[in-house]
Structure 1
Amino acid sequence: MRNLLPTFLRFPIYALVLFFATYMIKLDFMTGEFKEDSFTERTQEIFLLIGVLFLAFTSIKFEAFRYFNAVLSLFFLTHLIRELDSILDGFFDGLWQILAFSVVAIAIIILLKHGKPFWKQVAEIQHQFAFGVFTVGLFTLHVFSRLYGKGTNWENLMGDGFFRTIKDASEESIELLGYSIILISIGEFYYLSKKQNSIKQS
């Protein structure tokens, strides 16, 4: 029973993540708008920031899956930079591209320098529950939400009554769901890295 305690403790935390996400969506529904600075968009950025910092912390603290967590942190940092493009381009045009390519360059350097342990860690982690959750979140974000949110789908559905706000609301909500699942998977990566690190040290 004691072995199940960490699982029972994580459940309410993950439930709170999804509750917070749906509450932010509800606030945008109340305003009737889904703009660049909407609650939903800002929550996506917050979840990305938490995920990036948590993965970076995990890679520094635990030797287990260090390079996997580090590269994943940089991967989502590029997502965060892309989400903040309008703010970053306020400083000067093209800033977000410079920052994004710089982060990609760092990730490539890590892969070139530590490629062997990185791919070994990927091979080890791919069968874990955390990786399964991560895969679901990633494909929800990058495949399902993109295909689901195609303008032609909504134009066919609503015809002459096409209302872009409804399309944006639906697409952004699905994207936030994807980010929520990914954040939950990052929590699982932390738990897995901590557990694996303890096993190696014992």
Structure 2
Amino acid sequence: MMRQANLCLGLIFLALFKVATSTNVCKQQGHDCTNAACVSCPPAFGVKEFCHEDTPTVCEPCVAEVNYSNSSSPLELCKRVAECAADHIVAKKATRTSDTQCVCLKGYVEDRFGICHKLQPTQYLTASPTTSTTEVPTGTTTTSTTEVPTGTITSTTSFVKYIIIGSAVFIILCIGVVLVCICIYRCCKKRVC
């Protein structure tokens, strides 16, 4: 019985501690409102009016293809959707919960920084046709075949070759330095230095 009482007291203390130490995100960001008024706007909605004292946060719906919100937050407005750069096309239009997704134009390849580079026929080893099905707004689907490079780009290949050669030279130099140090140590040990 005593054990159950201690367990109940521990749980009550833990609950009180959690309430006492809970942080009000709105207050942390300079908005003077109670915990009850600091209401999060769900995904697809952004803050229209921030909370104030006992007045709760007012949310407004984001507009598809104009702005979006992909998280629940009492502080975030709807974010403006991205526009594709000149060398990109829209792969997927923005929705109320996701940003625009862009891909490079046909004949271009995107690097890790999102920049498209023209793909030369000699830059890839092999190409295989790939079939993709895309839903068109009218509800019908279209199938298109495009060439996608599946080989390694030669500029990347030559870069890897330089890294391998540089690493090999570095290792050989390190071995040489170690051997010279060993020779010097042995000479000094025999007091020949």
Range class of TM-score, shorter chain: under 0.3
Structure possessing the higher relative contact order (Cα contacts under 8 Å, 6 or more residues apart): 1
Which protein is richer in helix relative to its size? 1
Report the TM-score, using the length of structure 1 for normalisation.
0.21
- TM-score of the two chains, using structure 2 as the length reference: 0.21
Q: State which structure, 1 or 2, has the greater radius of gyration over its C-alpha atoms.
A: 2
Whichever structure has more strand as a proportion of its residues is: 2
